[in-house]
Structure 1
């Protein structure tokens, strides 16, 4: 795997969460100048905090411009911002507000950041790499009744393919990672609500027989970002312990 990202400007959205923070930390360890974007970005040594609402297109434009002035164009982008919203709500009880909030965060936010990253890379003539975070819910369905989340994450996969096709001529690669059920802080309440029996049923469908960890996402994401994946674009890989096993 690429040992060094020295001289590269990286931006990781959703870096207040376990997955985004883990990826950002590893990128910094390998020499990248890493900006961590979130509504409340983490204060971590070696990472540059950037307060950002990815659903605000204007704010995203300003953020990428600020990074460009300070560190050069973003050539490594990880779109980890997202969230499921209200769970286990029947569709006939889902409000327009709830639907649009979830779709905006998970799909519009990814689009806003991809658009600015591609603009910057093309303008600077830089070949870069984008990794979008989808979900197993975007490849099959959600077991927790989050219609907007499943639809948005499926949209992220479609957006990944389309951008890979369009941006490839500029040397820009766009790939996607689809996590399964990951033991992160944002899901602890949901995991607890499953109970021992419910968690056992879930794990019985996971080939490796355990929940994922944030660190399990780091390797696949860094692979997509690095030179070893230089001929890989438009792909989605499931990181779910062998739960879905799609080809």
Structure 2
């Protein structure tokens, strides 16, 4: 059995957005006793959130501004987090961007922008953090994909987003194989429609009604729905779950 150290850190990327999955997840994990390392392109907001978490939950927290598509910057940012926090046992890859551009209007710059952040970024952070997890002999990695990857779109974002999120699922499965012998599990979560700004801003009541028509439940998802799933997959007792994509989507994929 690969047991957790008494004090451990979860790194959460894309954490600073006021209404985002990353922020809700960071608060949820802090409430469960994790120390929190935050990475976000908005360094000031990241530092403010770290202070907020530390005050509210009494755990150690630190935030560093970084563009996850920059491999060298990611390595330096994780180095900074590790210098002041307990061993990193958890990683939650949330950082991502939307892309509603129709395929026939898509230019190369937009394609590469989305892939760099949504897929390369997950690779850069996971590669660096996995090195520390291997040394510690235990780890949990959870990356946010999307039901869009499984259905070929049909959400706010279109082709490059779907491709990048499908890549996250493939990366998750490959890493589960390679990192499993080191005591590290690697899983993905595929959210359905969640009321966050990545859906193009705050959802109107009319838009919520439209989205619910495709679901098997009577509401759109919340960031807390995803945070709860992340907390479950990061738990010590979830060590027999790996290479899995957990749909938290109100039944959209099945529907």
| Alignment TM-score, normalising by the size of structure 1 | 0.89
CA contact (8 A) 2:28 2:228 kept: no
Deviation at 1:191, TM superposition (A): 3.4
Deviation at 1:92, TM superposition (A): 2.3
Deviation at 1:170, TM superposition (A): 0.3
Deviation at 1:90, TM superposition (A): 2.6
> Which residue in the other structure is 2:117 paired with?
105
After superposition, the C-alpha distances for 1:12-53 in whole angstroms (9 at most, x for unaligned) are 001013210111112112222101110114413214221111
CA contact (8 A) 1:52 1:63 kept: yes
CA contact (8 A) 2:98 2:157 kept: no
Deviation at 1:102, TM superposition (A): 0.5
CA contact (8 A) 2:150 2:166 kept: yes
Deviation at 1:199, TM superposition (A): 4.2
> Which residue in the other structure is 1:226 paired with?
235
CA distance in 2, matches of 1:190, 1:242: 22
Deviation at 1:178, TM superposition (A): 0.6
CA distance in 2, matches of 1:216, 1:182: 9
CA distance in 2, matches of 1:33, 1:128: 14
1:148 paired with 2:160, answer: yes
CA distance in 2, matches of 1:108, 1:140: 22
Task: Flag the 1:5–1:212 CA change in 2: closer, same or farther, 3 A.
Answer: farther
CA distance in 2, matches of 1:91, 1:81: 23
CA distance in 1, matches of 2:9, 2:137: 11
CA contact (8 A) 1:67 1:73 kept: no
Task: Flag the 1:73–1:14 CA change in 2: closer, same or farther, 3 A.
Answer: same
DSSP-derived class of the 1:209 partner: coil
CA contact (8 A) 2:187 2:244 kept: yes
Aligned pair count reads 237
> Which residue in the other structure is 1:7 paired with?
7
> Which residue in the other structure is 2:28 paired with?
26
Deviation at 1:173, TM superposition (A): 0.5
1:210 paired with 2:219, answer: yes
CA distance in 2, matches of 1:222, 1:56: 27
| Gapped regions of structure 2 (runs ≥ 5) | 55-60
Task: Flag the 1:79–1:148 CA change in 2: closer, same or farther, 3 A.
Answer: same
CA distance in 2, matches of 1:189, 1:217: 18
CA distance in 1, matches of 2:142, 2:88: 13
After superposition, the C-alpha distances for 1:63-114 in whole angstroms (9 at most, x for unaligned) are 12222222244211000000213x1x33221110000000111000000011
> Which residue in the other structure is 2:74 paired with?
60
Task: Flag the 1:145–1:52 CA change in 2: closer, same or farther, 3 A.
Answer: closer
- Larger mean CA deviation between 39-48 and 28-37 belongs to 39-48
CA distance in 1, matches of 2:62, 2:82: 13
Deviation at 1:6, TM superposition (A): 5.1
Task: Flag the 1:190–1:28 CA change in 2: closer, same or farther, 3 A.
Answer: closer
Runs of 4+ in 1 over 4 A off after TM superposition: none
| Gapped regions of structure 1 (runs ≥ 5) | none
DSSP-derived class of the 1:182 partner: coil
1:35 paired with 2:37, answer: yes
- Identify which of 160, 163, 176 aligns with 2:188: 176
Deviation at 1:157, TM superposition (A): 0.3
Note the 1:228-247 alignment, pairs <5 A: 228-245=237-254
> Which residue in the other structure is 2:58 paired with?
none
